[in-house]
Structure 1
């Protein structure tokens, strides 16, 4: 059943939308863009940019599913859990190639759009919407390189959970920044993190996961350094820069010039979700974080992606951001039920699985309906370039 998620105000706003971004990363400017400029020339002009975006996303999802099969519990790289076999070397190499292909396709889809004269709001929304979900899949795959053992060189699932939230917050802040400034300031950390991920998986494919079992100066393990980098990237680099750019847009009168309440309004649903999920994870009667961390990660990332997609829609259409996401209601109900059910019934895990399936299907339905609405409104196709005679 198709639902009209976009209002006429949204669609009218999309008609006047113009993409504005600023990329100042030396790695991006001097290395990646020259590489992508050459790669895109190999792509036939009949290939739709959104098709490149979607195929790149599928490479990332494919990696996630591969690690679901070989390391669902995140114990494969924990040496004190020999009952879980190690991940085969070929899996790491295959995943490294997949991430490289996904990163490359994500880098050339916009260039293909400009090259074929098909640039438009649908392409940006499609690209960034899928990226918001990718923010879950890549770090979760990376966690398998270090494992989850308490006596090993890694971190516990609950700490990894908050590392994931750092990735989500970084992504969300960039679009909240654009909501207020009108300009997407591309963070420096994205290109570096993608190349680091590809390199980590390539090294692991050759040397095995044992290569990361070492301590750095100060008795800091490689896994703990991996955790520290998440927090540094959010607190030290991205957040201060975003706040400064927003402040400067008000000072120079170049941004949207919203009131304080309207400017911070997009933060309400994501902060509410952080609070709800943290309460559930920290006070879970049956400790769902240790019982099934992968499902907790997946549920959280899927709901976050939906919240972020709705922000991107309002930001691009220059409309008022929603202050509540309806997906938070079933999470609240599920959390309350799990806190009162006897742990012996194992009902909390059942609630977690039901929520994961329901919220994932609801998110896919939202994305599909929004894409269909935009295609119908602009009289275009999503995965095919419209012939000129049409």
Structure 2
């Protein structure tokens, strides 16, 4: 489930990375298919029960193995190649918004480092944190990736350059190091909870601030098209 979620988030990030470079948002079929598969997985679990995921499905492989293989295949053969093709076509047409290779790749640095840190934590966790706190960990993964992606979207909308390293990476790197080195010990789950609360609060704060700034810029109220009273 962690790999599945990470790949879906990466596909979504690639779409906005493409828009950052080309100015055109193209959502690949792989992303739409992943949403359908997710809904189907939840419905199947609700109807049949969790036992369906615990029994071999085909040739000794579990359904989860098949889903991950299909998802990686669709990502490698459909979504990501389409993104690269669209960027290459914009380059040939000289319509790229970023001429510099460094600036064009800049939005990918933080998501890739984020995925690497989270995967290291999952694989090397002494307390098997993903198995003990799957919901909390996956919530944290979703929130951190969402904040990174939202900042890229805002940079694309405002025509500004994204930061090289998202500030989430620094406390996360400390937490991951302390966890895999054994310094946290039994406190690993508590630290996960604290870090999750931190990034959730930061994400909500960021959303509120963006909403307020946009409402002031367009002279409207949030969730309303009414104009503000001019002072």
TM-score, with length taken from structure 2: 0.88
* Most deviating of 334-343 and 298-307: 334-343
Does the 8 Å contact 1:380/1:386 carry over to 2? yes
Shift of 1:221: 3.1
Counterpart selection for 1:273 from 114, 126, 137: 114
Shift of 1:285: 2.4
Matched, 1:351 2:191: yes
Shift of 1:209: 4.7
Q: Residue 250 of structure 1 corresponds to which residue in structure 2?
A: 91
Q: Partners in 2 of 1:266 and 1:203 — Cα distance?
A: 36
**Aligned ranges 1:172-321 → 2 under 5 Å:** 172-209=13-50, 213=55, 215-216=57-58, 218-321=59-162
- For structure 1, the 5+ residue unaligned runs are 1-159
Q: Residue 386 of structure 1 corresponds to which residue in structure 2?
A: 226
Shift of 1:279: 2.0
Q: Partners in 2 of 1:199 and 1:272 — Cα distance?
A: 31
Shift of 1:356: 0.6
Q: Partners in 2 of 1:267 and 1:322 — Cα distance?
A: 10
SS of 2:97's partner is coil
SS of 1:346's partner is helix
Tell me: CA distance 1:289–1:191, structure 2 relative to 1, closer, same or farther (3 Å).
Answer: closer
Tell me: CA distance 1:379–1:300, structure 2 relative to 1, closer, same or farther (3 Å).
Answer: same
Q: Residue 179 of structure 2 corresponds to which residue in structure 1?
A: 338
Tell me: CA distance 1:385–1:301, structure 2 relative to 1, closer, same or farther (3 Å).
Answer: same
Matched, 1:374 2:214: yes
- For structure 2, the 5+ residue unaligned runs are none
Q: Residue 201 of structure 2 corresponds to which residue in structure 1?
A: 361
Does the 8 Å contact 2:122/2:128 carry over to 1? yes
Q: Per-residue displacement from partner, 1:257-312 (whole Å, max 9, x unpaired)?
A: 42111111111111111222222222222221222122221112211111101100
Does the 8 Å contact 2:106/2:162 carry over to 1? yes
Tell me: CA distance 1:183–1:276, structure 2 relative to 1, closer, same or farther (3 Å).
Answer: same
Q: Partners in 2 of 1:201 and 1:287 — Cα distance?
A: 24
Does the 8 Å contact 1:168/1:304 carry over to 2? yes
Shift of 1:219: 4.0
TM-score, with length taken from structure 1: 0.54
Aligned length: 229
Larger radius of gyration: 1
Does the 8 Å contact 1:250/1:257 carry over to 2? no
SS of 1:215's partner is coil
Q: Partners in 1 of 2:50 and 2:132 — Cα distance?
A: 23
Shift of 1:215: 2.1
Does the 8 Å contact 1:341/1:347 carry over to 2? no
Please give the root-mean-square deviation of Cα atoms over the aligned residues, in Å: 2.4
Q: Partners in 1 of 2:112 and 2:39 — Cα distance?
A: 31
Shift of 1:321: 1.5
**Aligned ranges 1:59-78 → 2 under 5 Å:** none
**Aligned ranges 1:155-170 → 2 under 5 Å:** 160-170=1-11
Greater fraction of residues in helix = 2
Q: Partners in 1 of 2:180 and 2:43 — Cα distance?
A: 43
* Greater relative contact order (CA < 8 Å, ≥ 6 in sequence): 1
